[in-house]
């Protein structure tokens, strides 16, 4: 339900109408400018940089042909593809089973398993990799379990699998959350066994989500360099090459070319995903009954075993990272100390990096949630400026298809252009915040839009009949009602900003170095203990923020529900 | 308006966080070890309270690439602690401002740029070292290497880590020294054989020694500073100085041409060559640019300085690009077979 603004305009006093228009049109225009600056221009800059042949930058058509024909490039591409495919082949089925266990069985303590399985989201991708070194490196705790050390293909695959597991899980959890009990009743009354019911009911309803999870894991893996940098050894991948070309050799053109290659799978899968989504009709009809799994001891035992196994593996990895950050001198002096937390004497940025990260995450969460939520409100609840709305919708979907690595490269190229007046922002905190908001915009915007769609358009109509300006209505009515969703967005943006390294690595300056970047730098300098300590700090900070916001959200929800219940009694 | 106001307020809040002290801020690029930065900065700022150092630190290769990439729009005001062969390249590109620090007379002639006034002035010398983990050696039955040639023995297959010469100054001085002492064809043949034993090429020059200290790989080709430090912290390391001689580099200081803060940068150059600064370097290095100050380090032999090879820096910096691209062609990217032991 949307509100027709234009016909109502003459019914009200001039200044209210002006304020109204300023809020609606101004807000949308501002959002459009922001999206153009933060998403479109940097992406265009990549293509411009990749195809312009500046000397010594490794770009241009000739360099492109040379690069794409070189044996080294084929080797890197082959490595990247085989890693990404292996990771998806491991993660997606496992995440599906895990999600199925949580949504369609009666195993106990589901909340606990869910919490554990989402833990890797709270830490940068380097954390599982560092833990793997301590577990399976040459001096690893469990080294004897493997015939070879962890450095190389399997190290990257395992690290990426842990890093991407919760991402795939979240998609599949929501896909498996909805089921129509009537279909299952019908199936069993027709004599179909559980396997048959799964094949003809559950699988068709969820295969699109499986594809989406497949694409997400593939894209995350192929564009991540945090894991390969730590456990890759001499097994190199494309993302690492782009990182080395830009950060190490200052060959921006070469970085742009590889960035374009890395953009391809993301764009392709995004396109196919959108197409599939359109083909799949409404998953649930209005008359659907909520599916409640029936007890089955054998099924539940099997799924509990899988869930326990996955959770145990995740806990071992994360626990190992925390433990290794406390060990004084691995592996010869295992006494525990906080030595690795004395960052100021080591490379990488130390406590400044941590403080910067918290500042950056707070700014991203607060500014980002305000901008994104207001933008979503304007798009969902006002009807004028159809073209503007469409442009905004389209643009706000782009970031989902752009890997952080590519976005970060685009920022370097666009904001570092000589002659760009925005160059002053380069290396500053404002640009890091902008880039992080842009990077995580789509998911946050979708959360906001979903929450807003659940609100009846009558609210706006009531505001209109009371001649209350829309922005007042937005601040006084919509925001309080949607506060739980807003807190969700804040939490998502905060955690993402704390852990991200993919775009930030190209954008920081010594003053604005971030904790996740410091993890990478410390590992590079051989200070693995310090890297583990900083990762642990990031994990704890994200966890604390998440718990705080989840608690606040729960409290608010209770209050808002109380309000809803009291209302009819009046 | 709600949103733009909040946005503006937040953005200005972000900016105010960035503003800080009033002293002249000097952007100094460096490849010094991170542990050294704090004391060097403190000492300089104590002597020059009106100047504040902003470090930009990375490996030698990366700092060199960064400086070259910024040639037309230099971001650095000075360089304090970068390989002389890298500074020579910057000098060839006309990026350094020749300057004679106050205490230039106290610096050995072979540890400064020969021109007058010099483009760069040395601080100290760092040299190749093999870090050998004795605990792991015993566990794995490895004999202790005494020469560079020993490292090509089959028993060390996959047990050696060395820095990538493209990113690490220590890696480059190793490669340059092997090519100079063995002769070019034999030098490459040596590296071909060594490549068979390399478990990993890493980014920084100190990481191989740290990995050796932790036993992750028992042998690290590194330099003496981390070796001495780690040994003092109790790591089970033997410091091996190969008998063919040690490749070495001069760590040096220079002023960037066109810096708007040239005066402050020159005061940094003055400080870097002063006896006070040599007192700082003394704690970390056994060979200093100013003679007569260094004290022998107990972990290193007394004749340490005599073990350094005769190093032709002009040759090394002139051929740096060719050496690195040949190295990349031979060992970079295609080394997956070696990674698997």
Set of chain B residues whose Cβ sits within 8 Å of the Cβ of A431:
none
Please name every residue paired with B130 in a beta bridge, in sequence order, or none if there are none. Answer: B221, B240
**pLDDT band of A14, cuts 50, 70, 90:** low
Set of chain B residues whose Cβ sits within 8 Å of the Cβ of A374:
2-3
pLDDT, one tens digit per residue, over A41-94 is 999 998 888 888 676 677 788 888 988 998 889 999 999 999 999 999 999 999
Q: Domain-by-domain residue ranges, chain A?
A: 13-59+367-564, 61-250
Sign of CA dihedral B181, B186, B188, B192: negative
Chain B CB within 8 Å of residue A412 CB:
no
Stretch A150-157: mean pLDDT, rounded?
94
Chain A CB within 8 Å of residue B9 CB:
no
Chain B CB within 8 Å of residue A137 CB:
yes
The top-scoring range by mean pLDDT among A109-118, A245-254, A402-411 is A109-118
SS (H, E, C) A365-390: HHHHHHHHHHHHHHHHHECCCHHHHH
Q: What is the DSSP string of A312-372?
A: HHHHHHHHHHHHHHHEEETTTEEEE-SGGG-GGGSTT-HHHHHHHHHHHHHHHHHHHHHHH
Domain assignment present for residue B1? The answer is no
Q: In chain A, how long is the greatest CA-to-CA distance? A: 80
- pLDDT tens, residue order, chain B (341 aa): 344 555 555 555 444 444 444 689 999 999 998 888 889 999 999 999 999 998 888 888 889 988 988 888 788 999 999 999 999 999 999 999 999 999 999 999 999 999 999 999 999 999 999 999 999 999 999 999 999 999 999 999 999 999 999 889 999 999 999 999 999 999 999 999 999 999 999 988 999 999 999 999 999 999 999 999 999 988 999 999 999 999 999 999 999 999 999 999 999 999 999 999 999 999 999 999 999 999 888 899 989 999 999 999 889 989 998 999 999 889 986 443 333 33
Among the four given CATH numbers 3.40.50.1820, 1.10.3720.10, 3.30.420.40, 1.10.1060.10, the one describing domain A13-59+367-564: 1.10.3720.10
B224 and B264 share a domain? no
Q: Which residue of chain B comes nearest to A56, CA vs CA? A: B69
Nearest residue, CB atoms, A363 vs list B10, B54, B200:
B10
- Pairing mode of beta strands B78-83, B24-30: parallel
Q: Which residues contact B182 (CB under 8 A, 6 or more apart)?
A: B190, B244
pLDDT of residue A282: 54
Alpha-carbon distance B106 to A21, whole Å?
Answer: 74
ipTM attached to this prediction: 0.82
B115 and B152 share a domain? no
B228 and B277 share a domain? no
CB distance A448 to A508 below 8 Å:
no
B206 and B60 share a domain? no
Please name every residue paired with B57 in a beta bridge, in sequence order, or none if there are none. Answer: B30
B115 and B181 share a domain? no
B214 and B148 share a domain? yes
Across the interface, whether the CB atoms of A236 and B341 are under 8 A apart is answered no
Closest CA to A520 of A247, A121, A153: A247
Across the interface, whether the CB atoms of A152 and B11 are under 8 A apart is answered no
Q: Count Cα neighbours of A322 within 13 Å in the Cβ-side half-sphere.
A: 13
Residues 108-147 of B with CB under 8 A from A: 135
B270 and B203 share a domain? no
pLDDT of residue A147: 84
Across the interface, whether the CB atoms of B204 and A428 are under 8 A apart is answered no
Chain B CB within 8 Å of residue A82 CB:
no
Domain assignment present for residue B206? The answer is yes
State the burial class of residue A290 (Cβ atoms within 10 Å of its Cβ: 0-12, 13-18, 19+). exposed
Q: Count Cα neighbours of A403 within 13 Å in the Cβ-side half-sphere.
A: 32
Which secondary-structure segment (H or E) carries B54? Answer: strand B51-57
B48 and B101 share a domain? yes
Q: Please give the tally of structural domains in chain B.
A: 2
CB distance B60 to B31 below 8 Å:
yes
pLDDT of residue A461: 85
pLDDT of residue A55: 65
State the burial class of residue B13 (Cβ atoms within 10 Å of its Cβ: 0-12, 13-18, 19+). middle
What would be the CATH architecture of the domain defined by A61-250? Orthogonal Bundle (1.10)
The yes-or-no answer to whether A13-59+367-564 and A61-250 have a common fold is yes
Across the interface, whether the CB atoms of B34 and A347 are under 8 A apart is answered yes
B230 and B283 share a domain? no
pLDDT of residue A460: 84
Set of chain A residues whose Cβ sits within 8 Å of the Cβ of B54:
510-511
pLDDT of residue A77: 94
Across the interface, whether the CB atoms of B38 and A345 are under 8 A apart is answered yes
Q: Which residue of chain A comes nearest to B164, CA vs CA? A: A234
Please provide residue A150's backbone torsions phi and psi, each rounded to the nearest 5 degrees.
-80, -20
Closest CA to A263 of A222, A318, A306, A208: A222
Q: Which residue of chain B comes nearest to A367, CA vs CA? A: B7
Chain B CB within 8 Å of residue A151 CB:
yes
Chain B CB within 8 Å of residue A416 CB:
no
Chain A CB within 8 Å of residue B204 CB:
yes
Query: Picking from A26-40, A380-394, B148-162, B271-285, which range would have the lowest pLDDT averaged per residue?
Result: A380-394
pLDDT, one tens digit per residue, over A425-472 is 888 999 999 999 999 999 999 899 988 988 888 888 888 888 888 888
Assign residue B325 the CATH number of its domain: 3.40.190.10
Q: Which residues contact A324 (CB under 8 A, 6 or more apart)?
A: A130, A131, A134, A330, A528, A529, A532
Alpha-carbon distance A456 to A461, whole Å?
Answer: 9
Pick the residue with more confidence: A276 or A164? A164
Alpha-carbon distance A321 to A162, whole Å?
Answer: 13
DSSP H helix total and E strand total for chain B: 14, 11
B244 and B265 share a domain? no
Residues 201-260 of A with CB under 8 A from B: 233-236, 247-250
Across the interface, whether the CB atoms of B216 and A249 are under 8 A apart is answered no
B26 and B67 share a domain? yes
Q: Between A and B, how many CB-CB pairs are < 8 A?
A: 144
Q: Give residue B260's domain range.
A: 21-125+249-300
B138 and B117 share a domain? no
Query: Which of A138, A369, A436 is the best substitution to test chain B (most B C-beta atoms within 10 A)?
Result: A138
Across the interface, whether the CB atoms of A429 and B17 are under 8 A apart is answered yes
**DSSP-H helix ranges across chain B:** 2-18, 34-47, 60-69, 84-92, 134-140, 169-182, 184-195, 207-213, 224-232, 262-273, 275-282, 313-318, 320-331, 336-339
Other Cβ atoms within 10 Å of B8 Cβ, number: 11
């Amino acid at each position: 339900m949307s509100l027709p603004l234009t016909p109502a305009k003459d019914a009200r006093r001039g200044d209210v109408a002006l304020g109204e228009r300023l809020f609606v049109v101004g807000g949308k225009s501002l959002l459009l400018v922001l999206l153009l600056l933060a998403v479109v221009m940097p992406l265009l800059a990549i293509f411009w940089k990749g195809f312009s042949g500046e000397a010594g930058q490794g770009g241009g058509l000739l360099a492109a042909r040379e690069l794409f024909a070189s044996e080294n490039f084929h080797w890197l591409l082959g490595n990247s593809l085989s890693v990404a495919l292996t990771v998806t082949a491991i993660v997606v089925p496992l995440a599906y089973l895990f999600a199925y266990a949580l949504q369609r069985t009666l195993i106990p303590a589901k909340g606990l398993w869910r919490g554990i399985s989402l833990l890797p989201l709270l830490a940068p991708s380097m954390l599982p990799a560092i833990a793997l070194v301590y577990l399976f490196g040459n001096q690893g705790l469990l080294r004897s379990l493997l015939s070879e050390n962890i450095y190389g293909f399997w190290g990257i695959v395992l690290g990426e699998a842990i890093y991407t597991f919760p991402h795939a899980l979240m998609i599949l959890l929501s896909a498996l959350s909805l089921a129509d009990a009537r279909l299952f009743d019908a199936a069993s009354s027709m004599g179909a066994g559980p396997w048959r019911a799964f094949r003809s009911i559950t699988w068709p309803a969820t295969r699109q989500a499986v594809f989406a999870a497949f694409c997400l894991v593939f894209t995350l893996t192929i564009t991540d360099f945090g894991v390969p940098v730590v456990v890759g050894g001499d097994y190199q991948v494309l993302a690492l090459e782009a990182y080395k070309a830009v950060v190490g050799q200052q060959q921006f053109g070469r970085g742009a070319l590889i960035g374009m290659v890395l953009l391809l799978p993301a764009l392709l899968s995004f396109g196919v995903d959108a197409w599939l989504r359109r083909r799949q009709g409404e998953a649930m009809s209005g008359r659907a009954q909520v599916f409640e799994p029936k007890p089955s001891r054998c099924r539940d035992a099997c799924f509990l075993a899988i869930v326990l196994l996955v959770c145990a593996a995740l806990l071992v990895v994360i626990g190992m990272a925390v433990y290794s950050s406390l060990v004084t001198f691995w592996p010869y002096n295992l006494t525990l100390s906080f030595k690795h937390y004395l960052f100021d004497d080591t490379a990488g940025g130390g406590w400044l990096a941590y403080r910067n990260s918290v500042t950056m995450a707070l700014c991203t969460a607060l500014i980002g949630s305000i901008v994104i939520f207001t933008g979503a409100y304007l798009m969902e609840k006002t009807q004028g400026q159809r073209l503007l709305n469409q442009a905004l919708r389209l643009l706000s979907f782009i970031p989902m298809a752009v890997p952080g690595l590519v976005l970060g490269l685009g920022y370097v190229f666009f904001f570092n252009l000589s002659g760009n007046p925005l160059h002053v922002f380069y290396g500053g905190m404002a640009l890091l915040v902008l880039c992080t908001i842009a990077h995580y915009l789509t998911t946050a915007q979708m959360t906001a839009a979903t929450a807003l769609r659940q609100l009846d358009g009558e609210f706006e109509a009531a505001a209109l009949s009371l001649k209350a300006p829309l922005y007042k209505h937005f601040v006084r009515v919509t925001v309080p009602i949607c506060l739980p969703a807003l807190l969700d967005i804040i939490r998502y943006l905060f955690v993402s900003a704390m852990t991200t390294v993919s775009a930030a690595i190209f954008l920081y300056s010594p003053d604005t170095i971030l904790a996740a970047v410091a993890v990478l730098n410390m590992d590079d300098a051989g200070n693995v203990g310090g890297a583990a300590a900083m990762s642990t700090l990031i994990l704890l900070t994200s966890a604390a923020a998440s718990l705080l916001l989840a608690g606040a959200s729960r409290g608010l929800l209770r209050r808002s529900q109380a309000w809803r219940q009291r209302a009819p009694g009046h | 308006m709600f949103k733009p106001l909040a946005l503006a307020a937040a953005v200005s809040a972000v900016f105010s966080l960035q503003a800080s002290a009033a002293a002249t801020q000097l952007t100094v690029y460096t490849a010094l070890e991170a542990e050294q930065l704090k004391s060097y900065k403190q000492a300089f700022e104590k002597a020059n309270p009106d100047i504040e150092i902003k470090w930009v630190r990375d490996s030698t290769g990366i700092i060199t690439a960064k400086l070259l990439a910024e040639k037309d729009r230099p971001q650095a005001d000075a360089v304090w602690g970068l390989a002389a062969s890298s500074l020579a390249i910057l000098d060839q590109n006309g990026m350094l401002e020749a300057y004679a620090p106050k205490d230039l007379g106290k610096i050995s002639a072979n540890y400064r740029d020969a021109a007058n006034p010099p483009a760069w002035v040395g601080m100290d010398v760092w040299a190749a070292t093999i870090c050998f983990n004795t605990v792991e050696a015993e566990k794995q039955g490895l004999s202790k290497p005494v020469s560079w040639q020993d490292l090509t023995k089959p028993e060390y297959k996959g047990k050696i880590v060395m820095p990538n010469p493209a990113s690490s100054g220590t890696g480059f001085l190793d490669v340059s020294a092997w090519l100079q002492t063995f002769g070019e064809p034999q030098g490459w043949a040596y590296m071909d054989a060594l490549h068979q034993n390399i478990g990993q090429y890493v980014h920084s020059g100190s990481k191989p020694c740290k990995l050796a200290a932790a036993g992750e790989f028992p042998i690290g080709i590194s330099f003496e500073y981390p070796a001495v430090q780690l040994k003092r912290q109790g790591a089970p390391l033997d410091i091996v100085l190969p008998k063919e001689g040690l490749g070495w580099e001069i760590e040096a200081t220079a002023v960037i041409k066109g810096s708007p803060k040239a005066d402050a940068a020159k005061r940094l150059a003055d400080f870097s060559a002063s006896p006070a600064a040599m007192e700082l370097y003394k704690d970390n290095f056994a060979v200093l640019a100013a003679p007569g100050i260094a004290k022998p380090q107990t972990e290193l032999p007394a004749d340490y300085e005599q073990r350094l090879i005769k190093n032709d820096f002009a040759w090394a910096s002139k051929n740096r690009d060719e050496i690195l691209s040949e190295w990349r062609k031979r060992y970079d990217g295609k080394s997956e077979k070696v990674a698997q032991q």
